[in-house]
Amino acid sequence: MNPNEHTHISQSAQLAPSINRGSMVAKPWSSFRQGFSLLMQGIKQKTIKATYPWQQMAIERRRVLMLLVTLTTATVAYLWIDNQSNWDFLPLRLLQLTLFLLLTAWVAAGFFTAIMGFLVELFADGFALSARQVAHQSLSVNTKTAVIMPICNESVDTVFAGLRATCESLAQCPEAKQFDVFILSDSFDPAILAEELSAWSTLRDQLQGQVNLYYRVRQRRTRRKAGNVADFCRRWGKNYQYMVVFDADSVMSGDALVTLAKLMDQNPRSGIIQTVPQPCGVDTLHARVQQFAARVSGRLFTKGMLYWQLGESHYWGHNAIIRIEPFMKHCALADLPGTGGLSGHIMSHDFVEAAMMRRAGFDVWLVTDIEGSYEQQPANLPEELQRDRRWCQGNIKNIRLIAEPGFAMVHRFMLLTGVLAYASSPLWLLLILISTLVYALDYFFGSGLTDNLLLSHYTELWYVTLVLLFSPRIMSLLVIFYKRESIQYGGVFALLKSTLFESLYSAMVAPLRMMAHTYYVVSALTGLGLEWKSPLREAKSLQWRDTFKYFIPYMWPMALLALITLVVAPGNLPWLLPVFIPVILATPFAVITSSSYVGLWLRVRNVFITPEESTAPAVMQQAWYYSGRYIKLNRLLRWLRQPKARSGATAYHLR
């Protein structure tokens, strides 16, 4: 079906502006060997130079990070080595030590990132790009910005509800006429295409010309979202200085959009400016826990990342503004040569586009103080894991570009950490297997590998691990208390209670992610197929049978490993129960946490409250109203509060 053939749309309703074609040509990637050779030459010649003050500061900060991580890892190595009394089977011991230190370094990097985020929260960072810098600036009258929303077989009601709220918020800004909004559809389901066209026509009429709204269906759907964006750039990119890229679940306020354009105007060296989208609007228990965690401890990690990265930051592919001309010239993505799972088109395109933009001499900034940027979390654990599978395969592919000539060193590390975000799971699982093997060798062959182990040092290692993992949550609470923001989370007691429950929830989910991510890494490396589906935008409770089928490939190996541990290393079992139990109980855990009733039942009791729930932002209120969520939510909350209402309490209303 071609929506452009529909005749019921009025003649004045222009689907898309006239094409003003530009060029966006991808250049082949260098071979890994060639790129690595050039990289080594550059390091030896010390060709990395700081041109601007923030660059020199970033270099010094990263050196501090490397030193802190190295010292922490060395301390843990000393404790571990000092605990070993038997070094027979030396290769096995060395492998065990290597895995332990790799995982320690990974956790330590996150720990020190949170510490720096904590300090930035308290004392600010004079080198960071901030919305405050343009608060009293005007947007240039010559600036034209496109807001583009690539979609593919999405829930039309949900997508257009959020887009309508965004457009209406933008229409209230004096600069609204300097923005055009594009719906870039890659949908191929005829029924969905018809719904999209009807929804576009309706929304265009509702806006009454306050915001220009266009709709385009791509006939050649190549390279998924990255190809969709590139097609827009070739057709209309020359008409605009900037483009704000949305996901199908993105919602942004007009003020946030205008602030992004102002920041681009005032910082002509900036190629990409990324906001921090706040997850909200999903009521299942799983989603509400993730929303709470992102709001409480996530803020430290994002500000900590900015502290190390400054103008060489992340781009997450949505809720960000891009300078179009250099993007078209320097960020076209060629396919990775060869065959197999690590070849073909770039999937995790955002990290690569950020590296290419920086290579071209333009800054990539993460701005953490722009309010009015929102997204949705996956409603349940299987949906989250399915999303992780796409990201895992894309990130592992990107390892082939780590030696690409001209990439900034920090972006090379981003490509590496993108892999480690998933590869750490098989490393963790392998460490558990090796630890069990050590006990098995002692049990069956009397190897003596477990003789005279110093429990006191194991306890010290356990304490160090707990500090690295849980102190970021404590620092987050201190920031909230210091800024007197606890009321936004339901009050002091509610915040403390929710943080404790979130910590327990994270401990339950971590082993499940470990098993799933291990499978995804193996699948990506072996080239197993991946079915690419648009994620569900509406929460639905999981069915027991389907959930059991989903998790059984992870459950039975873990149950077998638990049984082996019980037989050969019963003393080691208590240490591994926090890993075994969540995976064995994956089915009931995932089903229960996929329920909106459970999530809202806890909301009524002030558990996992976020600022967006305590006082809903205006643009999100509108989005929820148009999608029907507002009415359903209030009805369900009133029902959950019914006993209190009968006792004289007032009915709850979403603010």
- In 3D, which of 516, 521, 526, 579 has the Cα closest to residue 552? 516
Bridge partners of 546?
none
Q: What is the pLDDT of residue 453?
A: 56
* Number of domains the chain is built from: 1
- Whether residue 435 lies inside any domain: the answer is yes
Q: What is the DSSP letter of 19?
A: P
Cα gap 15→491, rounded to integer Å? 49
Residues 6+ apart with CB under 8 A from 376: 249, 279, 280, 281, 282, 287, 537
Extract the runs of DSSP E, i.e. beta strands, from 218-338.
242-245, 251-252, 270-274, 278-279, 320-323
DSSP 3-state of 76:
helix
DSSP 3-state of 105:
helix
- Whether residue 371 lies inside any domain: the answer is yes
Contact 280, 613 (CB under 8 A): yes
- Whether residue 529 lies inside any domain: the answer is yes
**What global pTM score does this model have?**
0.93
* pLDDT exceeds cutoff 70 at 13: no
pLDDT per position as a tens digit, 48-67? 566 789 999 999 999 999 99
Question: Which of 354-358, 389-393, 425-429, 452-456 is predicted with the least confidence, judged by mean pLDDT?
Answer: 452-456
* pLDDT exceeds cutoff 50 at 363: yes
The one-letter code for the residue type at 17 is: P
* pLDDT exceeds cutoff 80 at 455: no
Residues 6+ apart with CB under 8 A from 285: 592, 593, 594, 595, 598, 599, 602
- Whether residue 34 lies inside any domain: the answer is no
Q: Which helix (H) or strand (E) segment is 181 a member of?
A: strand 179-185
The beta-carbon contacts of 59-63 under 8 Å, at least 24 apart in sequence, are 61/116, 61/307, 61/308, 61/310, 62/308, 62/410
Q: Which helix (H) or strand (E) segment is 179 a member of?
A: strand 179-185
DSSP 3-state of 571:
helix
Contact 458, 83 (CB under 8 A): yes
* pLDDT exceeds cutoff 70 at 280: yes
Residues 6+ apart with CB under 8 A from 506: 293
- Whether residue 167 lies inside any domain: the answer is no
**233-259: average pLDDT:** 98
Contact 620, 281 (CB under 8 A): yes
- In 3D, which of 35, 28, 3 has the Cα closest to residue 16? 3
DSSP 3-state of 146:
strand
Cα gap 458→240, rounded to integer Å? 60
**233-258: average pLDDT:** 98
Nearest-10 crossing angle of helices 409-445, 544-568: 50
Q: Find the DSSP H helices in 84-189.
A: 90-123, 156-171
Cα gap 113→468, rounded to integer Å? 11
Structure-block tokens of residue 478: 């201190």
Q: What is the DSSP letter of 344?
A: B
pLDDT per position as a tens digit, 575-598? 899 999 999 999 999 999 999 999
Which residue range(s) make up the domain with 453?
41-127+241-615
* pLDDT exceeds cutoff 50 at 650: no
Bridge partners of 216?
184
DSSP 3-state of 148:
strand
**How far, rounded to the nearest angstrom, does the alpha carbon of residue 310 sit from its chain's CA centroid?**
19
- In 3D, which of 342, 435, 350, 358 has the Cα closest to residue 393? 342
- Whether residue 29 lies inside any domain: the answer is no
Cα gap 491→331, rounded to integer Å? 46
User: What's the pLDDT band for 304 if we cut at 50, 70, 90?
Assistant: very high
Question: Which of 2-6, 463-467, 563-567 is predicted with the least confidence, judged by mean pLDDT?
Answer: 2-6
Q: What is the pLDDT of residue 10?
A: 44
- In 3D, which of 590, 591, 600, 586 has the Cα closest to residue 640? 600
* pLDDT exceeds cutoff 50 at 232: yes
* pLDDT exceeds cutoff 50 at 242: yes
Question: Which of 32-46, 228-242, 258-272, 432-446 is predicted with the least confidence, judged by mean pLDDT?
Answer: 32-46
Upper half-sphere CA count for residue 241 (Cβ side, 13 Å): 17
| Torsion 43-45-48-53 (CA) sign | positive
Bridge partners of 217?
185
* pLDDT exceeds cutoff 80 at 164: yes
Contact 257, 170 (CB under 8 A): yes
Cα gap 394→514, rounded to integer Å? 18
Q: What is the pLDDT of residue 529?
A: 62
30 by Cβ neighbours in 10 Å (0-12 / 13-18 / 19+) ranks as: middle
Contact 201, 167 (CB under 8 A): no
Cα gap 567→79, rounded to integer Å? 28
- In 3D, which of 632, 633, 652 has the Cα closest to residue 642? 652
Structure-block tokens of residue 634: 């209030």
Residues in the chain: 655
- Whether residue 477 lies inside any domain: the answer is yes
pLDDT per position as a tens digit, 112-159? 999 999 999 999 999 999 999 999 999 999 999 999 999 999 999 999
pLDDT per position as a tens digit, 471-518? 999 999 999 999 999 999 999 999 999 999 999 999 999 999 999 999
- Whether residue 326 lies inside any domain: the answer is yes
More confident call, 318 vs 571: 318
CA distances (Å), origin 420, targets 461, 483, 517, 527: 22, 34, 11, 19
User: What's the pLDDT band for 6 if we cut at 50, 70, 90?
Assistant: very low
pLDDT averaged over the chain? 90
Q: Which helix (H) or strand (E) segment is 486 a member of?
A: none
Q: What is the pLDDT of residue 48?
A: 56
Q: What is the DSSP letter of 269?
A: T
Q: What is the pLDDT of residue 441?
A: 80
